[in-house]
Amino acid sequence: MNRKTIPLSPYYRSLTRNMVLLVIMISFTPMLLVTVITLDRFSASHHEKVYAHLGELVLKHKQNIDSFLVEKLQNIRFLADTIDFDQCGHQNMIEGHLARLQRAYGPVFVDLGVVNEQGQQVAYTGPFRLEEALYSDADWFKRAIESRYFTSDVFLGLRGAPHFIISARKTCQDQKWIIRATIDFVEFNRLVEKIRIGKTGFAYILNREGRFQTKPIFDFTPDLDIYNRYFSTLERMGKEVEIQERLDSYGVRSIYVSALLKGGDWLLVYKQASSDAFSDLRNAQTIAIVFFLLGGVAIVAMAIWMSGKMVRRIATSDQEKEIMNEQVIETGKLASVGELAAGIAHEINNPVAIMVEEAGWLQDLMEDGAYKSDADIKEFERALDQIRTQGKRCKEITHKLLSFARKTDSRIEDFEVGHLIEELVALSAQRAKYSNVELITRLEPKLPAISASQSELQQVFLNLINNALDAMDKTGGTLEISAKQEEGQIVIDVSDNGPGIPRANLARIFDPFFTTKPVGSGTGLGLSICYGIIHKMGGEITVKSTVDVGTTFGIRVPAKTDEAVENKAVSATDTCN
Amino acid sequence: MHNFRVLVVDDETDFLETLVKRLNKRMLDAKGVESGEAAVDLLKREVFDVVVLDVKMPGGMDGIETLREIKHIQPLAEVLLLTGHASVETSIEGMKLGAFDYLLKPMKFDDLLMKMAHAFEKKSSHDKKIRDAKIHELTRYPSRVFDDE
């Protein structure tokens, strides 16, 4: 629990950040791709569907309106064919026809009139008072008199209300007559008015002059250029329906679906705001984005939480590893000391054996009782001297051992490495002597100090020396230890001319628990501990070996820089003053 | 105790000298040499009953090699090994090669004397068996007296 409150070091913080970024990137990329691709495909197919639907709708209504117009025209043609123009002048007659038309086709036909060549309406029936009306100047009349059948644009006319006229021409008694009917605008408008989809979808009809032929639900001024373009596009392409999406005069993106009516005179236009037409798509997009954002938030939260948790765990296990390492180093130290002890024991045994023998010799002499003569006394003195000499020898050995054993703490100090090497070489000298190994040290004088734990570095060299002595135990040889300064680093080489290390083992030599010694003899930890210690100091340890030629372990450790030493000297003098 | 010939091989001169002195005082015919090579040389020239050999010697031949040579030159000579605690394994190897026994250094002088006596007894009985066999053979085939050995 306590551990959780410890703030993490920058290394772990950057580790956390990297993990979070990686997780977010890996999670977001597919999510983003899937969402974008799906939305894009869906949008494309939805557009297609909406276009097809609107196109179909407009086409159907175009046919509807066209057939309405054709049907009305045919009604009038039929009437014109059957009517007897001799009787045209008679009001009653016209009334009868209108009544019949209205009975047959509903109240679509508002009125009915007969106009002569001069534009004089000779007969009229309907709700307006248009008997005797003169149409000779009216546009529709001029065109109606030219063609057999005619459907006019919507206009206000004499009655002052929007309407349009369907007329048929007939020649009778060398006179051209026109029979005309007015179509109920409200009725016609309804045909277009009922085309309503969504909130903004509506339809209207324009003529070639860009004037409304129906009353649009939303009032606006049509732009003639644009509609002329529709006319020409539809005519040129021979298409029945043209669909376009563009900004309207209010700047709202809209879909325009247009179709020609009345043989190209009119244009049926259906307009709907894109946002309205694609509202389903918009909804789907909104939902997708909401889920994307929610998912994103969840991913980010998850990534931060999980990375934090994992890094904590890594930090904990690193800490445990650190403790473990320290324990392993301690164990390794005991093992190497044990190996050293074998050599030391023999070294101590020899003087002790001499002392024991000398003491025994003195005893022998005393037992004989022959200690009065000068010669005997000389022999006594010699033996006692010998015992003293050997006792001193023992003392020296124990001192060496003690100075080694005293450096047990792993405190970091600044010290010169040469002295430490000399000490270890002295300790190993006896073992080397019995293995027929010549120990040579080549230490550059005045090496800069290094900052390390003496006891740990001792262990490194002891391990390397022990290994070399083990390797040359049978054959003998030379073991050379050199130390020199190179580019601000201390370079220490421990080289032997023993049997060498086979190439296959060379790569694994620093692995923990890798050993070529028989079970029970070696832990396989020695070199891995050396590796750990040197790396902890910010140095490196390498090995070069050739079978039957020898092995060299190279150690490079950073030297304390001169500045650091000087600073130290300055601060030392300061304190002295 | 019978008088017999002893060769002590040890690299520590002081130890060697004192030991030889003490052995001579016990009426044994003892000689000391400081290396395996010297021991081998001497054994080629003189006959010894018991050899006391330090197994750990620096330079040149070590104890085991010397033992092999001794057993080659004088197979009947009994060898006592002197060893430190750390080299008991070497002593075991030595005994497999025909050494009589081993002693941990520093040893009690009496133990050394006792083991030397045992070794000499063994050697003597061995010698006697060989002598008896020869006598038996000569009584059967007296003419073999003139054969070269």
For chain B (149 residues), the mean pLDDT of every run of 10, in chain order, is 84 90 89 92 92 83 88 92 76 90 88 92 92 89 72
Is B56 within 8 Å of A434 when comparing Cβ atoms? yes
Average pLDDT, chain B: 87
Q: Which residue of A349, A383, A386 is in closest CB contact with B106?
A: A349
- Of A438, A440, A445, A399, the residue nearest A418 (C-alpha): A445
User: What does the pLDDT look like over A149-189, one tens digit per residue?
Assistant: 888 888 887 777 888 888 888 887 777 888 888 888 888 88
Rg of chain B, C-alpha, whole Å: 17
Q: How far is A473 from chain B (nearest CA, A)?
A: 11
With contacts defined as CB-CB under 8 Å, which chain A residues touch B14?
354, 358, 386, 390
pLDDT over 70 percentage in chain B = 94
A157 and A174 Cβ atoms separated by less than 8 Å: no
What CATH number did the domain enclosing B121 receive?
Answer: 3.40.50.2300
| ipTM value | 0.81
B39: left (phi over 0), alpha (psi -120 to 50) or beta: alpha
Chain A residues with CB under 8 Å of a chain B CB are 341-343, 345-346, 349-350, 352-358, 360-361, 364, 383, 386, 390, 433-434, 436
- Total domains in chain B come to 1
Q: How far is A497 from chain B (nearest CA, A)?
A: 17
| C-alpha to C-alpha distances, A316 to A4, A20, A311, A328, A532, nearest whole angstrom | 10, 19, 8, 18, 19
The more confident residue out of A214 and A568 is A214
The token pair that represents A106 in the structure block: 């509903």
pLDDT over 90 percentage in chain A = 14
Is A390 within 8 Å of B14 when comparing Cβ atoms? yes
Q: Which residue of A356, A383, A436 is in closest CB contact with B106?
A: A356
User: What does the pLDDT look like over A302-313, one tens digit per residue?
Assistant: 999 999 999 999
Q: How far is B24 from chain A (nearest CA, A)?
A: 11
- Of A334, A343, A332, A432, the residue nearest B86 (C-alpha): A343
B9 and B36 Cβ atoms separated by less than 8 Å: yes
User: Which 3 state secondary structure label does DSSP give A79?
Assistant: helix
Give dist(CA A455, CA A268) in Å, integer. Answer: 100
Give the domain range for residue B137: 5-146
Q: How confident is the model at residue A486 (pLDDT cuts 50, 70, 90)?
A: confident
Is A354 within 8 Å of B84 when comparing Cβ atoms? no
User: What does the pLDDT look like over A510-557, one tens digit per residue?
Assistant: 887 788 877 666 677 788 888 888 888 889 999 999 888 889 999 999
Q: Which residue of A345, A356, A386 is in closest CB contact with B85?
A: A345
Does the fold of domain A195-277 match that of domain A83-187? yes
Q: How confident is the model at residue A408 (pLDDT cuts 50, 70, 90)?
A: low
Q: How far is A462 from chain B (nearest CA, A)?
A: 18
CATH class of domain segment(s) A195-277? alpha beta
With contacts defined as CB-CB under 8 Å, which chain A residues touch B87?
346
| A10-82 helix and A279-368 helix, angle to the nearest 10 degrees | 160
Q: Which fold has domain A83-187?
A: Beta-Lactamase (3.30.450)
With contacts defined as CB-CB under 8 Å, which chain A residues touch B56?
346, 434
Residue of B nearest to A435 (CA): B58
Is B15 within 8 Å of A353 when comparing Cβ atoms? yes
Is B106 within 8 Å of A357 when comparing Cβ atoms? yes
User: What does the pLDDT look like over A243-283, one tens digit per residue?
Assistant: 888 888 788 888 888 888 888 888 888 888 888 888 888 89
- Of A545, A546, A555, the residue nearest A459 (C-alpha): A555
- Torsion sign, CA atoms A108, A114, A120, A123: negative
Residue of A nearest to B103 (CA): A353
Residue of B nearest to A342 (CA): B86
Q: For chain A, what are the domain ranges?
A: 83-187, 195-277, 407-564
Superfamily of domain A407-564: Histidine kinase-like ATPase, C-terminal domain (3.30.565.10)
pLDDT at residue A560 tops 90: no
Is B15 within 8 Å of A345 when comparing Cβ atoms? no
Burial call A439-469: b when 16+ CB within 10 Å, e when fewer? beeebeeebbbbebbbbbbbbbbbbbbbbbb
